[in-house]
Amino acid sequence: MSKAKGVIAAGHEVTVAAAAEILSDGGNAFDAAIAGLFASCVPEVVFSSIGGGGFLMAHPAGRSDTVLYDFFAQTPSSKRPEDEIDFFGIHADFGPATQEFHIGAGSAAVPGFVQGAFRVHKDLCKLPMSRIVEPAVRAAREGVVISDFHAYLFTIVAPILTASAGAKACFSPGGTLLKGGDTYRNAAFAETLEGLGREGHRLFTEGELARAMVAQSQDEGGHLAMEDFKAYEVELRRPLLWRHRDAELALNPAPAASGPLIAFGLGLLERFRPEGEPGALDLACIMSETNAVRSAQSGDLSTVTGSEIIARHLSALAGHPQMSRGTTHISVIDADGNAASASVSNGEGNGLMVGEFGFMLNNMLGEEDLSAGVFHHWRPGTRLSSMMAPTLIRERSGALTALGTGGSNRIRTAILQVAVNLIDRGQDLEHAVAAPRIHVEKSGKLSFEAGPWSELYSDEERDALVKAFEDVEAWPERNVFFGGVHAARARGGGFEGVGDPRRGGAACVV
């Protein structure tokens, strides 16, 4: 019996299959992760696009260092006059409630997805990029069957997917929005990917693709200029390394908000509960305290957090406006010990397809958090902050876990809880991901998964939790609201992977 080559977990079977194909063909974890990210732009198109950005946490085998590749979006270098900006609100229909998103050419920040993929490729990959993009090219050209979960997402953001003639032709052919069971094809995007594989990232930063994005922006009321693409740089950052119990976590550092807040929560947990497993109320109180420290704008944060390291990271968030929506994730560990944890986002997309190239730019300048609900007041040339949390966990036993999730401001609480389930409770990966979750909003509202509650907590804990909060929402089942943690683990010479069913995840050992 041949030895396994590795394990992959991601947000869709097609994404996992693309990474698995590259791993089987001799690629390492980084080749596989990049292949999966490109492929995710087809079946997970609401979350993922080469017009967006993200992060990849990389642990190369045989090296003591772990590095965070920051290729997230940043604000353009100059602003267009407000009366010339194409920027408008749409209402996304979540069923019981609606949420306003802002789209248009003026909502697009400078993307970094392509630049990041090619930088990781240059530093860490084995196979040529032309081979790495092949599964994504094939998926786009031959088509993928739309899952019920992604069809549901299509209905939520239908006003974005039908906002322009190009978007309608792609997502609503014949005037009817694609639905579950339909096949989504994008031949134009397949050609774009082939071009990138053949010509390299300069096609995107100064070539035909760059010119098309700039022309659209200038013609349609956006801010992007050629200099934005030429000047964009992928940042290599030292992870925020945090020890919890007998494990070390590599977390997304500032200017991302996720890592510092997760570290703060874990540190607080050890003070609240130095021994034994935390209860539901413990976790809820920690989430409330984390919300409070996140809102702190002045004073000595080290006295609040109890850690100069966390305080320094939190202080570094100032001036980096935050974006927190529309995310997907892939985790890969190979047989040599290479580990990749990568999260990407396109916001929800800005509603405009770029020329005849088959992709949509992000709408990250349409995030209200950028300027406390006041739009167009962002500072030029600034990396956006994010709640995305690609994470690696190494335990004293030698177990290595790569994990991450989508879920907006629920990302940090989802990662916190899965980490606690693995480290404090000693659960296996499947149970750690499936366990019921809770979340406390900045407003003080408590949400929890009531359906599977008894799988981890007692009725008494539920009653105490509900009593402690005035505003409570009990979700009857596991729900996409609480994120989708896709996790890969290497332990004792074997592999395990879990794609969170909350977000249609998948996993496989190759």
The pLDDT tens digits of the residues spanning 308-357 come to 776 666 666 665 656 556 789 999 999 999 999 999 999 999 999 999 99
The one catalytic residue in 66, 205, 305, 327 is 327
Decide if 327 is catalytic. yes
Q: What share of the chain is helix, strand, coil (3-state, %, to 5)?
A: 40, 20, 40
Q: What is the pLDDT of residue 100?
A: 84
Report in angstroms the alpha-carbon separations of 134 from 8, 143, 191, 193, 301: 18, 13, 11, 8, 48
Mean pLDDT of the chain: 92
Pairing of strands 322-323, 385-386: parallel
Q: Is pLDDT larger for residue 144 or for residue 481?
A: 144
Residue with tokens 């967006």: 52
492 belongs to a structural domain: yes
The stretch 446-460 carries a mean pLDDT of 96
87 belongs to a structural domain: no
362 belongs to a structural domain: no
Residue with tokens 């420290």: 293
Asked if the model's pLDDT at residue 266 lies above 60, the reply is: yes
- HEC string of 421-456 equals HHHCCCCCHHHHHHCCCEEECCCCCEEEECCCHHHC
d(CA 509, CA 488): 9
Q: What is the pLDDT of residue 184?
A: 97
Asked if the model's pLDDT at residue 399 lies above 80, the reply is: yes
What CATH number is associated with residue 468? Answer: 3.60.20.40
Q: What is the pLDDT of residue 11?
A: 97
Provide the 3-class DSSP secondary structure of residue 352.
Answer: coil
Categorise residue 355: left if φ over 0, alpha if ψ from -120 to 50, beta otherwise: left
61 pLDDT tier (thresholds 50, 70, 90): very high
Asked if the model's pLDDT at residue 298 lies above 50, the reply is: no
How many C-beta neighbours within 10 Å does residue 496 have?
19
91 belongs to a structural domain: no
Q: Is pLDDT larger for residue 455 or for residue 377?
A: 455
Provide the 3-class DSSP secondary structure of residue 507.
Answer: strand
Q: What is the pLDDT of residue 421?
A: 97
Top mean-pLDDT range of 36-50, 274-288, 301-315: 36-50
Q: Tell me the one-letter amino acid at 16.
A: V
473 belongs to a structural domain: yes
d(CA 368, CA 380): 16
Q: Is the dihedral of CA 25, 191, 329, 322 positive or negative?
A: positive
363 belongs to a structural domain: no
At 300, list the tokens: 């000595």
At 145, list the tokens: 């069957």
Q: How many domains does the chain have?
A: 1
Q: What is the pLDDT of residue 371?
A: 46
Closest CA to 417 of 389, 442, 396, 444: 389
Asked if the model's pLDDT at residue 111 lies above 80, the reply is: yes
Q: Each residue of 377-389: b (16+ CB within 10 Å) or e?
A: ebeeebbbbbbbb
The stretch 241-264 carries a mean pLDDT of 93
Is the distance from CB of 11 to CB of 343 less than 8 angstroms? no
Categorise residue 202: left if φ over 0, alpha if ψ from -120 to 50, beta otherwise: alpha
d(CA 211, CA 209): 5
Q: What is the pLDDT of residue 1?
A: 43
376 belongs to a structural domain: no
Asked if the model's pLDDT at residue 299 lies above 50, the reply is: no
How many C-beta neighbours within 10 Å does residue 276 have?
8
Residue with tokens 């209905």: 155
Q: What is the pLDDT of residue 442?
A: 87
Enclosing domain of residue 439: 239-321+388-509
d(CA 416, CA 261): 9
d(CA 258, CA 491): 26
Asked if the model's pLDDT at residue 276 lies above 90, the reply is: no
Asked if the model's pLDDT at residue 219 lies above 60, the reply is: yes
Asked if the model's pLDDT at residue 252 lies above 70, the reply is: yes
Q: What is the pLDDT of residue 231?
A: 94
Q: Which residues contact 118 (CB under 8 A, 6 or more apart)?
A: 129, 200, 201
The stretch 30-54 carries a mean pLDDT of 97
42 belongs to a structural domain: no
Closest CA to 215 of 82, 351, 355, 80: 355
